[in-house]
Amino acid sequence: MIYYQFLKYKIKFFKKMKKDLKNFNEPYWWKHAKPKLIDDLEWEQTSDVVIVGAGYTGLSAALELLKSGLKVVIIDSEIPGYGASSRNGGITSGKIKPSIKELISKFGLELAKKMIEEGETARQDLYDFIRKEKIDCDLKINGMFIGALSKKSHENQKKDDDFNSEYLGIENRIVEKKDVSKFISSKKYVGGIFDKKIGSIHPAKLVISMTKMVRKSGGYIFNKTTFKNCEKSGDLFHILTNRGLVKSKHLIIATNAYTDKNLPWLRKKLIPVISEMISTSEIGNNRVNSLMPKLSTFGEALNLFHYFRPSPDGKRILIGGRRVQYNNEDPTKKLMYGLLEIFPELKEIEISNHWYGYVTFPFDQIPKLVIHNGIIYAAGYCGSGTVWSRWFGKKAAEIILNFEQKSAFYNIPFKKIPFYNGYPWFVPIAIEYFKIQDWWINSKE
């Protein structure tokens, strides 16, 4: 009898442990908005447009096309929003990796300006969309502070800021050392830059609302449906999936960092990287307020930076970064260590969740909206897709709808690397290179 009771207790204990571990490894966001399986649809064999990938890109394209009365089928090998769109930090950056100087030297002043300005337009368009559609996704426009770790790095920020104000007419946004405490209570930063237009959202609430909107507008979403391949026959794409064939006039690929081996053309042009986050347990509004007085979002002037923000209820801190260690070091501890470097006073707090997802980089670090063999590809947002993916989805739809005004990014070709098959074996080497660069710039005082 005692043995039976003990066994029952042991089973209960291990079941609870398994559940806790599962919850621990789920995105914090899924507590309030978890992607759900859709299983009430009969397979459709024809469509005007098929979209592969049900994240922000695919759903946004669908919403735009549905407004014009087209029939839209979205397929996703998982469930809608299961990719990066329900896992991200929700920081509405809308920035691109290369600096304005680099953009000018590559594309000339006019196109470079258009690219930067399109990021501002895209961000505002996201805010307008959320407000117009009354989407409850905790939108807050409290700005973003990018901290510099050394005088040299802060000098570089100043030069870039002057350049931006000269060429783009953007007001100067430099934060001097004496003012850093107005933005963050941390000794890590000697200055920074503050962009008041950047905000934050609850990413999973947004993607789930978009999923509902697509369904309400008559769009078909098939989850657990993997794109296998396609052939063009006459005017139609014959698209083969594990669920069957669907014929469509148009095809949009919106798989971004989750692009798999069934899409080899795209896969060979993108470098997928793990981005991961932790959430603290509740530490209270007062404490979060005292550490982040403007309740804004944060980044760092580094190649291998941390991004962080308060949770929408202002009771926790969420921090993320790229997975930079390719050994067995515990990634939760690594992120916790990153958090303590910024706020050493948090050393006794607990972590409630640790999760990861994939972001992806084209070789030239310019987001891509490209047509190849009649197929529209939108991808490569370099970890800043909260704004860009929704925008590029919309722009992909506008190509089908024959809008005259195209994105500044339209048809900028992918850079290729010979013999690259989509397996990013060189990432650990690149990371070591970035570490040295970061050390170099921040050690020369």
Ligand X SMILES: Cc1cc2nc3c(=O)[nH]c(=O)nc-3n(C[C@H](O)[C@H](O)[C@H](O)COP(=O)(O)OP(=O)(O)OC[C@H]3O[C@@H](n4cnc5c(N)ncnc54)[C@H](O)[C@@H]3O)c2cc1C
**Where does this chain bind ligand X (CB under 6 A)?**
52-58, 75-78, 82-85, 87-91, 93, 226-227, 254-260, 262-263, 275-277, 307, 320, 357-359, 381, 383-387, 389
List the one residue out of 304, 112, 90 whose CA is nearest residue 201. 90
Residue nearest to ligand X (CB): 385
Q: Toward ligand X, which CB reaches closer, 29 or 154?
A: 29
Closest to ligand X by CB, 85 vs 280, is 85
Q: SS3 of 45, please?
A: coil
| Residue 151: Cβ-neighbour burial (10 angstroms; 0-12, 13-18, 19+) | middle
**Tokens encoding 298:** 């944060």
Question: Measured from the CB of residue 427, what is the shortest distance to ligand X in angstroms?
Answer: 15
Q: How far is the CB of 12 from ligand X (least distance, A)?
A: 33
The least CB distance from residue 277 to ligand X, in Å, is 5
Q: Kindly state the tokens that stand for 165.
A: 């104000």
Task: List, in sequence order, every residue forming a beta bridge with 147; answer none if it has no partner.
Answer: 192, 300
Q: How, if at all, do strands 351-362 and 368-372 pair?
A: unpaired
Cβ at position 407, least distance to ligand X in Å: 15
∠ CA 31-36-39, nearest 5°, is 165
**Beta carbon of residue 404, minimum distance to ligand X (angstroms, whole number):** 25
Nearer to ligand X, 83 or 338 (CB): 83
Output 191 or 357, the one with its CB closest to ligand X.
357
Task: State which residue, 150 or 256, has the beta carbon closest to ligand X.
Answer: 256
- DSSP class per residue in 358-409: EEEEETT---EEEEETTEEEEE--TT-HHHHHHHHHHHHHHHHTT-SSPPTT
What residue ranges in 242-382 does DSSP mark as E strands?
244-253, 270-280, 297-300, 306-310, 317-322, 351-362, 368-372, 375-379
Listed in order, strand segments (DSSP E) in 84-219 are 144-148, 174-175, 191-195
For residue 378, the minimal CB distance to ligand X (Å) is 7
Nearer to ligand X, 89 or 362 (CB): 89
Q: What token pair was written down for 303?
A: 């190649």
Between 77 and 150, CB nearer to ligand X: 77
Q: Which is nearer to ligand X, 220 or 358 (CB)?
A: 358
Q: Which of 321, 305, 310, 263 lies closest to 286, judged by CA?
A: 310
- Work out how close the CB of 161 gets to ligand X at its nearest, in angstroms, rounded to a whole number: 21
In the complex, what is the shortest distance from the CB of residue 381 to ligand X, in angstroms, rounded to a whole number? 4
